[in-house]
C-alpha cells in the first residue's frame, strides 16, 4: 500500500534561517506531488506541485521554493525565513489518474520566531 | 480563478442533531468534488467524493453529500451527529482537465464542535 511521510513534524526556526521540509511517498511510482499550507480560518493554499522529477509549478509567489530531486521525494525550502512563513505545511500526492483524489501526509508545523 | 466557499466557519451542535455544511464553487465546467475531514491531531482524510453519476454520494461514517449542478453546490449532510464528529471539514474542487495534475482548490474549512 502507498504511504506518505513528512518530516520534521514540528520545527521552530529564527527569522532569517533556512528551511528544508521533506516529503517522500512509498508504494507508487511517478506520483503528482503537492505542497499546501494550512492557516487557521484560511483553508489550504496550494504552494507548489510537481508532475515529475525536476518539474515544479508554483501557484503563489512566496519566500519558498520546491524541488523534486527524485521521483518520490518532494522538498520545500527557503533561504531566509520570514515570520509570515509560520504555518502548517502539508505534502500530498495523487496517482495522476482522473480521480484527482489527494492523499495527505501528517503535516509539518513551522514556527518562525 | 475558481474558488470554493464554505458558508459556516464554526458550527456547534448537540449530539443527535442533523448536520448540513454548505459548499459552493465558482467553476462552470466539469468538476470533481470532495469533502475532507481533519480530526483533532490527525491528518486530512477523504470523507467522500463525486466524479459522475448519481449526484447523491455516500461516504464514511454516515456522511453524504449532494451535487446540485444548477446551484454549483456540494453540501455535506449527516442525519444524526456524534461527539466523535468534532473536526474540521473542508470542501474541495478539481476542474476536470484529465491527469489531475493541478491539484484541488479548497474552501476555508468549517470547524464543527459536537457537544455531548
Domain boundaries, chain A: 3-112
Question: What's residue A99's pLDDT?
Answer: 65
Quick: pLDDT tens for A35-73: 999 987 778 999 999 999 999 988 877 789 999 999 999
Which top CATH class is A3-112? mainly beta
C-alpha cell at B34: 470532495
CA distance, residue A37 to nearest chain B CA (Å): 11
- Choose which CATH entry (1.50.10.20, 1.20.1560.10, 2.60.40.10, 3.90.1150.10) describes domain B4-115: 2.60.40.10
Q: What is the pLDDT of residue A1?
A: 85
In this prediction, residue B77 carries a pLDDT of 98
**pLDDT tens digits, B86-107:** 999 999 998 765 555 678 899 9
Per-residue model confidence (pLDDT) at position A97 = 65
Q: Does B99 touch chain A (CB under 8 A)?
A: yes
- Across the interface, of B43, B105, B109, the residue whose CB is closest to A105 is B43
Cβ-defined contact of A98 to B45 (cutoff 8 Å): no
Give the tens place of pLDDT for each residue, A14-35: 999 999 999 999 999 899 999 9
Cβ of B94 under 8 Å from any chain A Cβ? yes
The one-digit pLDDT tens for each residue of chain B (116 residues) are 668 999 889 999 999 999 999 999 998 778 889 999 999 988 899 999 998 899 999 999 999 999 999 999 999 999 999 999 999 999 999 876 555 567 889 999 999 999 98
Strand partners, A33: A50, A93
Q: Where in chain B are the domains?
A: 4-115
Q: What are phi and psi of B85, to 5 degrees?
A: -85, -5
Q: What is the DSSP track for B33-99?
A: EEEEEE-TTS--EEEEEE-SS-SEEE-GGG-EEEEEGGGTEEEEEESS--GGG-EEEEEEEEE--ST
Which of A34, A44, A57 lies nearest to residue B90, judging by beta carbons? Answer: A44
Amino acid at each position: 500500500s502507498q504511504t506518505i511521510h513528512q518530516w520534521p513534524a514540528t520545527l521552530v526556526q529564527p527569522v532569517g534561517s533556512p528551511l528544508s521540509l521533506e516529503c517522500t511517498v512509498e508504494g507508487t511510482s511517478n506520483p503528482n506531488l503537492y505542497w499546501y499550507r494550512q492557516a487557521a480560518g484560511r483553508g489550504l493554499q496550494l504552494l507548489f506541485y510537481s508532475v515529475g522529477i525536476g518539474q515544479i509549478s508554483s501557484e503563489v509567489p512566496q519566500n519558498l521554493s520546491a524541488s523534486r530531486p527524485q521521483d518520490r521525494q518532494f522538498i520545500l525550502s527557503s533561504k531566509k525565513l520570514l515570520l509570515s512563513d509560520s504555518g502548517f505545511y502539508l505534502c500530498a500526492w495523487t496517482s495522476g489518474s482522473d480521480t484527482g483524489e489527494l492523499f495527505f501526509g501528517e503535516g509539518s508545523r513551522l514556527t518562525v520566531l | 480563478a475558481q474558488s470554493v466557499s464554505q458558508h459556516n466557519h464554526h458550527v456547534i451542535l448537540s449530539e443527535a442533531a442533523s448536520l448540513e455544511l454548505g459548499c459552493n464553487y465558482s467553476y462552470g465546467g466539469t468538476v470533481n468534488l470532495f469533502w475532507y475531514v481533519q480530526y483533532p491531531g490527525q491528518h486530512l482524510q477523504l470523507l467522500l467524493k463525486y466524479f459522475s453519476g448519481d449526484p447523491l454520494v455516500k461516504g464514511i461514517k454516515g456522511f453524504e453529500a449532494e451535487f446540485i449542478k444548477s446551484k454549483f453546490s456540494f453540501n455535506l449532510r449527516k442525519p444524526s451527529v456524534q461527539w466523535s464528529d468534532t473536526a474540521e471539514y473542508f470542501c474541495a474542487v478539481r476542474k476536470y482537465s484529465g491527469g489531475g495534475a493541478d491539484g484541488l482548490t479548497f474552501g476555508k474549512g468549517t470547524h464543527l464542535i459536537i457537544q455531548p
